[in-house]
Amino acid sequence: MTTRLLIFALLLLQPAWYLWLAPPVGLPPVIAAVAMAAPMIPAALLALFGHRSAGFWGGVAALFYFSHGTMEWWSNPAVTALAATESALATALIFSASWRGLQARAAARQAAAQKASGSEASE
């Protein structure tokens, strides 16, 4: 559920940023908003229909948004808050989408360590 909310939060941040909060000067705002929202649209559609891979594709798109947010954060002081928000949402989405896999990996390592220590104790 959290992953889906983060996907839609990142998706909705883009038109808010480029159409309302800080429209670009050298490019029509609608083009900028559509171009920036495009990477998250497939993940949003998958999330809307409840597909299992929505989190994965949202996480992949979030890598782009993290990079963009970090770049804007450092290079454009006028949009520092928006860029920090974008980077934070992207980071949260990446961790949210990866959390179950990280837990499974940690459990597998723990089981392997217990198995290895159990076989050493029996020798």
Q: With bands split at pLDDT 50, 70 and 90, how would you rate the model's confidence at 115?
A: confident
Under DSSP, the state recorded for 97 is H
**pLDDT higher than threshold 90 for residue 33:** yes
Contact 36, 18 (CB under 8 A): yes
**pLDDT higher than threshold 70 for residue 123:** no
Helix axes 80-122, 2-15, angle to 10 degrees: 160
77, exposed or middle or buried, with CB in 10 Å at 0-12, 13-18, 19+?
exposed
pLDDT in tens, 83-111: 999 999 999 999 999 998 888 888 899 98
User: Would you state the pLDDT for residue 52?
Assistant: 92
pLDDT in tens, 48-96: 999 999 999 999 999 999 999 999 999 999 999 999 999 999 999 999 9
C-alpha 121/C-alpha 91 separation (Å) is 42
| pTM of the complete model | 0.85
User: Would you state the pLDDT for residue 93?
Assistant: 97
